[in-house]
Amino acid sequence: MTDKTIDLFASEDSLPDPGERIEELRTMIQKHDKAYYTNAQPLIADREYDKLFAELVELEKANPDLIRSDSPTQKVGGAPIKGFRTIQHKIPMLSLSNTYSREELTDFDRKVREGLLKSYASEKAAYKYVTELKYDGVAMSLRYKNGQLDLALTRGDGTSGDDVTQNIKTLKNIPNTVNKIELMAVPLANIEVRGEVYMDDSEFLRINKLKEDSGEKLYANPRNLTAGTLKLLDPKQVEKRRLKMVSYWLHSDDHDLSSHQENLELLKKLGLPVGEHISLCADIEEVFQFIDKSGDRRGGLDFGIDGVVIKVDSTEQQQELGFVSRSPRWAIAYKFEAEQARTKLNNIILQVGRTGAITPVAELEPVFLAGSTISRATLHNADYIKEIDVRIGDTVYIEKGGDVIPKVTGHVPEERPADSVEFQMPEFCPCELKSPLIRPEGEANHYCDHPECKSQIKRRIEHFISRNAMNIAGGVKFTEQFTDWGYLNSVADIFDLKKKSHEIMKLEGWGKRSLEVLFSSIEDCKTLPFAKVLYAIGIRFVGSGASKVLANHFKTIEALKSATKEQLTEVSDIGDKIAESLINFFADEKEMKILDRLIAAELNFEQATPEESGEEQTLAGKTFVLTGELQSMKRNAAKDKIEKLGGKVTSAVSKKTSYLVAGNNPGSKYDKALKLAVEILDEEGLIALLE
């Protein structure tokens, strides 16, 4: 391992101490919770997350003195999303403990039995389970007051959630008024209903098709799109997405309810949707049968399930069993392994990345898997193909992880054609230049290192203009067309486009307005900080984190360029691999020509530290929060300007906030600022302050 990363496979004598590992796991889990719950963009597959979580639980169990109240194991869920009113749940919204193993399920059953035997004489300790499908969506709580839908809250952190009532009211299968029912002559009208909001696969495909047609990035899966839709501030947009909800829990303020099965019946009578395929199981054997059946059904459903939920039926027994920290003892989720599909591998093609890295990609007989039709999947690299031993013509397994990109995971030996041959990595790049591929020592990837390779240029431009880099409007359409038409042979050419605007204006698909937007976003690049520019250039292994570290440390491109390998590796987080790549980059004449043109285009190649920026620090000590749309500049540009003058921009309004800058449609931060008497500036006010 050349980089200064933590070696998780360290030998016995250098085993990390449990305290360190616990800290590391907590940090990772918190990061993933934020990605999952707050940003609705999971970074890893559920399975990987569950493994990290289980490891933390085990370590804390073995070292109880290291348990802290802020550990993810002591919490209920993720953080509430910003932009909506946050309201406390009447009863905390817990999640379930989950397992992938049948042994653990038997164990769960034993604990239920033993738990009930402690409380009841044996004949009363008999119990049943209700088994349901585990819908893969977003948990929701609905409160009905006098039969009217009064409040819809997301789970949030389990204690309080976001008020998404207006969005939920657009769901066609959720009644605004429940049917009138009486129990013992008292209406069942003040209730809380919990369930899962989800999107049908067919609806997900419809929306992604629209995205695809307009050349936009696709949504990863129905769950992410559901979470993202619930966060939309405009209910009309929510309505267009045809979300659904299924209910699986009922609480009444006025009645004691006796069993889960009865509750599901009551939910139906109230007019609320309950799940398909619910079963009452007399013992754990019947639960296993339900699991098997559900696994078989999974592929034929028009919605995603990621397992089944097993609940003790009697409400009294549920109360007797109670809870452990974040989950009930009376219920458990059995999760399915990542969904797999089988299909034919028609061909293996090579895809060229921005650094010239070659990824073999499987071209497949189209097959439907977990919410979308798959016709391509990654094969990572030549070693991976060898390891899983796949050949063109094979029937292969494909899987989806937490990401939108599926991968090939193996083949069916019995279905291998007799005449198939082992895959050989081609010697030449698939682009028109057909330059030889090289495989650097110690690397798994092959590379095309021809600087004029068109595929590579396209990927570099794609990266350069991407949101986290220079954020230039135009996307795939811009990259593909302008490269194919010969206007872009390197990222530096982007800054010469304006000179050719008369010519470009005549091109199909590029009108005056779209070019105005394009040129204005190209102009905005000049306001972006050095670290972003460094990242955008796309030096091999230099990601956004490393770019920030390098910009902070070296301050100028000149200093970075003249740094030796030793000086580079002295910087924390910069290992041999990154250092060598930087040195190669700066030694490459062609790259340097591009770099010089980017410098001449007035991009920031210096870190604007307070001392060096020369700007008077008129905003030192002031904290700003930006909300709503600004007209004359992008939020990022406003942020840069504030920071240049010594101010700080944060995301949440608090008593310490000096100014809230409110653009159009400001949202809940505005209300909070009013409440806390934080000074509110409109756009003109901000400009005056900046000037």
Answer whether 156's CB lies under 8 Å from 162's CB: yes
Residue whose C-alpha is closest to residue 217's, from 407, 374, 404: 404
**What single letter denotes the amino acid at residue 1?**
M
* Cβ neighbours of residue 222 closer than 8 Å, sequence gap 6 or more: 136, 137, 198, 199, 200, 201, 203, 204, 303, 304, 371
Catalytic residue among 4, 82, 134, 532: 134
> What gap in Å lies between CA 282 and CA 567, rounded to an integer?
69
Answer whether 486's CB lies under 8 Å from 454's CB: no
* Cβ neighbours of residue 49 closer than 8 Å, sequence gap 6 or more: 29, 32, 36, 42, 402
Cβ proximity to ligand IVH: between 324 and 587 the closer is 324
* Cβ neighbours of residue 377 closer than 8 Å, sequence gap 6 or more: 361, 362, 364, 398, 405, 406, 407, 408
How many Cβ atoms sit within 10 Å of the Cβ of residue 426?
17
Burial of 257: CB neighbours in 10 Å, binned 0-12, 13-18, 19+: middle
Whether 128 sits among the annotated catalytic residues: the reply is no
Give min distance, CB of 278 to ligand IVH, in A.
8
Answer whether 330's CB lies under 8 Å from 319's CB: no
* Cβ neighbours of residue 232 closer than 8 Å, sequence gap 6 or more: 167, 238
Q: Which residues of 625-653 are buried (b: 16+ CB within 10 A; e: fewer)?
A: bbbbebeebeebebbbbbbbbbbbbeeeb
Helix (H, G, I), strand (E, B) or coil at 382: helix
Answer whether 408's CB lies under 8 Å from 345's CB: yes
> What gap in Å lies between CA 95 and CA 196, rounded to an integer?
12
Answer whether 629's CB lies under 8 Å from 651's CB: no
Residue with tokens 């003892």: 329
Residue 66 tokens read as 């290291």
**What single letter denotes the amino acid at residue 358?**
I
Cβ proximity to ligand IVH: between 323 and 428 the closer is 323
Give min distance, CB of 374 to ligand IVH, in A.
25
> What gap in Å lies between CA 255 and CA 278, rounded to an integer?
24
| Residue number with the smallest Cβ distance to ligand IVH | 139
**What single letter denotes the amino acid at residue 334?**
Y
Which residues of this chain interact with ligand IVH, rule CB under 6 A? 94-96, 132, 134-135, 139, 196, 248-249, 275, 309, 328, 331, 333
Residue with tokens 């590029």: 510
> What gap in Å lies between CA 182 and CA 454, rounded to an integer?
71
Give min distance, CB of 282 to ligand IVH, in A.
19
> What gap in Å lies between CA 663 and CA 683, rounded to an integer?
6
How many Cβ atoms sit within 10 Å of the Cβ of residue 491?
25
Mind telling me the catalytic residues? 134
